[in-house]
Amino acid sequence: MEQNSHGAVLSVVGRWDFHITDLGPVLEAGRSAYRMNHPEDPGEAESAVTGPEEAAEQLLEAYGVDAVFDTEGLTAVRIFTAALTHDEDDDEAFDEDPFAIAYEDVE
């Protein structure tokens, strides 16, 4: 990770909730993204993406969050994002819970 010259870190934390209106297209989109993410192993897409969680993870890895919004079979119902500036945390704190910054007590 590139060193920061200002002494602060900007973290953007988000939550996107979707109603699953048709699981089939969601799984197919995730499997297609899996094939892009793992060109050495495209035949494993069906066994690797068995639910909407794996589909979303593959879509995020391949194309970013916009791809999830564009996926047939999903309808966005809630969106929440927060931007926080803080001192750089050590790697252990991040590895322990990368989302802790969103709910730590701030005074």
Write out pLDDT tens, residues 74-106: 999 999 998 988 877 666 777 888 888 777 654
Domain ranges for the chain:
8-102
User: Is pLDDT at 60 greater than 90 in this prediction?
Assistant: yes
pTM as predicted:
0.78
Question: Can you read off the two tokens belonging to residue 71?
Answer: 């996926």
Position 2 scores a pLDDT of 57
Cα angle vertex 14, ends 16, 8, to 5°? Answer: 170
Position 5 scores a pLDDT of 61
Position 97 scores a pLDDT of 86
Ramachandran angles phi, psi of 82, nearest 5°: -140, 140
Q: Where is 24: in which H helix or E strand?
A: helix 23-37
